[in-house]
Chain A
Amino acid sequence: MPVKLTVTGAAAVAHAMRQINPDVVAAYPITPQTPIVEYYAGFVSDGIVDTVMVPVESEHSAMSAVVGSAASGARTMTATAANGLALMSEIVYIAASYRLPIVMPIVNRALSGPINIHCDHSDAMMVRDSGWIQFFTENHQEAYDFTIMATKLAEKENVLLPAMVNLDGFITSHGVESFEMLDDEVVREFVGSWNPKYSLLNTKNPVTYGPLDLFDYYFEHHRQQEEAMKNAYKELPGVFEEFEKISGRRYDFLDLYKVDDADYLMVVLNSTASTAKYVVDQLREEGHKVGLVKPQVFTPFPKKEFQQVLNGRKGVVVLDRAMSFGKEAPLYSLVKSSLYEVASRPSLGSYIYGLGGRDTTPEMIREAFEDALQGNLIADEQRYLGLRE
């Protein structure tokens, strides 16, 4: 029987990892991811899991150890945040290129500088082109559920890509909330066992990982990665369906809230969607046809789903918790480009919010909606919520 646990988001993720019981976890603690690694180290020392835990001296080493472990054929996980992810980034690309299905929760936090330990999405956006699948989660339940689904998807034979599960630093990772935990056996059966095609430890069938791949094959290997992303996109509905069977929870590329008859939509990632849903309810009570779109899958980017839901609306505001200096904000630019060929393009507005953990209030969300309601959106103008002029 599934049980309700009232714990931090970090504990929820650690429980998902415990149930997956990976062969190896190599990790370095970094705020606000630290409690995930701490909880997991507890499970290891208490003998609850049979994972080999490798406490490394930096995130660069963590990702390096994880790549070695996954190449040896072990089911492998790690977790990180912000500057830790930045320090890993060289190997993050390599993990994807070697097609190692590593699963890594990212507890989203601002990249320095100036130094800041609070939530924004600059870390996830920094590696958005690294070849990892990227999920975004609103709360404990989703962080837990997507960690399990990520494992299932990443290891599919036609995918074999690493996956990041993003959750908001402190807001989700340290906030206490109830979530439903599935039975250990149910999760174990869902993720199944991992049988890698190539293993460095298989002496009967020796392989070489990471040879030189110059102008003659590098291009072809990258084309394969693109195909794997396409396959991930094709496989996801099946994973969502199977997960619904064991959990009763139905996921999709986009979480849609009151969109059916909505003229005005907001697009926002992760925990701020909860605040936005509250504002949607308020505006609905006042008679405004508004709704919310929360992407759960960011890479592969669900372009077709965006086209379907945004085509023909009057106005769409996209909120980004990261900046792309000198260019359009990361989520906004993708949403905008996905609408290039739809029959009836909505007016669009780009809003930056919550950088470095800046609190995002219902009033700020309302401000963006009101711009849309008043027909005051300029597609090429970047606006800011909660910034002091």
Chain B
Amino acid sequence: MSDLKGWKDIPIGGVIDKPATAREYKTGEWRIQRPIIDREKCTNCMQCWLYCPDMAIGGGLDGKKMKLGEVNLDYCKGCGVCAAVCPVNAIEMKSESEFI
């Protein structure tokens, strides 16, 4: 939270003084585990992309086929849903402490 503003620098009353979306609110800060995808095992079935509750997994059409993209760690909150739904166990949830 060190990059957040102090009490003298924010609008009073919790007012958000410009049009905005929750995109600026990086929910990934809550995460204690992150998904690591083994690209060798991945079949691009897109189950993880479909089920991620935070739409944190990128990907889309690559030519005629779907292709898995990167995990956006600004929003991935480490719930592990992607790892649970992956039919080929290509996703491993690793502790954040490993990446400090």
In the assembled complex, the Cα of A2 lies from the Cα of B59 at a distance in Å of: 75
Q: Does residue A380 face the partner (Cβ distance < 8 Å to B)?
A: no
Instruction: Tell me the nearest residue of chain A to B1, going by C-beta.
Output: A216
With A207-B15, A208-B15, A209-B15: A220-B10 Cβ-Cβ less than 8 Å: yes
Q: Known contacts A208-B20, A223-B7; decide if A217 and B15 are in contact (CB<8 Å).
A: no
- Rounded to whole Å, the gap between the CB of B3 and the closest CB of chain A is 10
Residues in chain B near residue A224, CB distance under 8 A: 7, 10, 12
- For chain A, the bracket of interface size reads 20 to 34
When the two chains form their complex, are residues B19 and A206 in contact, meaning their CB atoms are under 8 A apart? Answer: yes
Residues of B within 8 A of A213 (CB): 14
Residues of B contacting A303 in the complex (Cβ-Cβ under 8 angstroms): none
Would you give the shortest CB distance from A382 to chain B, in whole angstroms?
A: 38
Task: Give B9 Cβ to nearest chain A Cβ, in Å.
Answer: 9
User: In the bound complex, how far is the Cα of B19 from the Cα of A98, in angstroms?
Assistant: 18
**Also in contact, A210 and B14, with CB within 8 A (given A216-B1, A217-B4, A223-B7):** yes
> B63 interface residue, CB < 8 Å from A?
no
Residues 204-227 of chain A, each 1 if its beta carbon lies under 8 Å from chain B, else 0: 011111110101110111011001
The answer for the CA separation of A313 and B6 in the assembled complex, in Å, is 43
Q: Which chain A residue shows the least CB distance to B12? A: A99
Q: Are A97 and B19 in contact (CB under 8 A)?
A: no
Q: Is A100 interfacial (CB-CB < 8 Å)?
A: yes
Chain B 15-34, CB within 8 Å of chain A: the 1/0 string?
A: 11111100000000000000
Q: Look across to chain A and name the residue whose beta carbon is closest to the beta carbon of B19.
A: A206
With a CB–CB cut-off of 8 A, which chain A residues contact B15?
Answer: 98, 198, 207-209
The answer to whether A97 and B13 touch (CB under 8 A), given A206-B19, A208-B20, is yes
Summed over the interface, the residue pairs from A and B with CB atoms below 8 Å come to a total of 53
| Most chain A beta-carbon neighbours within 10 Å: one of B4, B12, B13 | B13
* Bound: A221/B16 CA distance, A: 12
Query: Is A209's CB under 8 angstroms from B14's CB?
Result: yes
Residues of B within 8 A of A98 (CB): 13-15
CA distance A206 to B18 in the complex (A): 6
B residues near A210, Cβ cutoff 8 Å: 14
CA separation between A216 and B25, bound complex, in Å? 11
* Given the contacts A206-B19, A208-B20, A220 and B6 also touching, CB distance less than 8 Å: yes
> What chain A residues lie within 8 Å of B12 (beta carbons)?
99, 160, 221, 224, 228
Report the minimum CB–CB distance from A225 to chain B (whole Å): 8
Q: A97 to chain B: which residues have CB within 8 Å?
A: 13-14
Determine the chain B residues whose CB is within 8 A of the CB of A216 once the complex forms: 1, 4
Residue of B nearest to A98 (CB): B13
Q: Hey, which chain B residues are within 8 Å of A205, CB to CB?
A: 17
Task: Find chain B residues with CB under 8 A from A221 CB.
Answer: 7, 10, 12-14
A220 to B8, CA, bound (A): 8
Residues of A within 8 A of B4 (CB): 216-217
Chain A contacts for B14, CB-based, 8 A: 97-98, 209-211, 213, 217, 221
For A198, give the chain B residue with the smallest CB separation: B15
CA distance A227 to B5 in the complex (A): 17
- Once the chains are docked, how many angstroms separate the CA of A184 from the CA of B64? 76
Interface-central residue, A205, A206, A219, A220, by most chain B CB under 10 Å: A220
A125 to B97, CA, bound (A): 48
In angstroms, Cα B14 to Cα A213, docked, is: 7
- Chain A residues, CB < 8 A from B6: 220
Contact A99 B16 (CB under 8 A): no
B26 nearest CB across to chain A (Å): 10
Where the two chains meet, the residues of B that have a C-beta atom closer than 8 Å to any C-beta of A are 1, 4-7, 10-20
What 8 A-B pairs have minimum CB-CB distances, sorted nearest first?
Answer: A99-B13, A220-B7, A208-B16, A223-B7, A98-B13, A99-B12, A213-B14, A198-B15
7 A-B pairs whose Cβ atoms sit less than 8 Å apart in the complex: A215-B1, A216-B1, A217-B14, A221-B7, A221-B13, A223-B7, A224-B7
Other A-B pairs beyond A160-B12, A208-B16, A217-B4, 17, CB < 8 Å: A97-B14, A98-B13, A99-B13, A100-B13, A206-B18, A206-B19, A207-B17, A209-B13, A209-B14, A209-B15, A213-B14, A216-B1, A221-B10, A221-B14, A223-B7, A227-B7, A228-B12
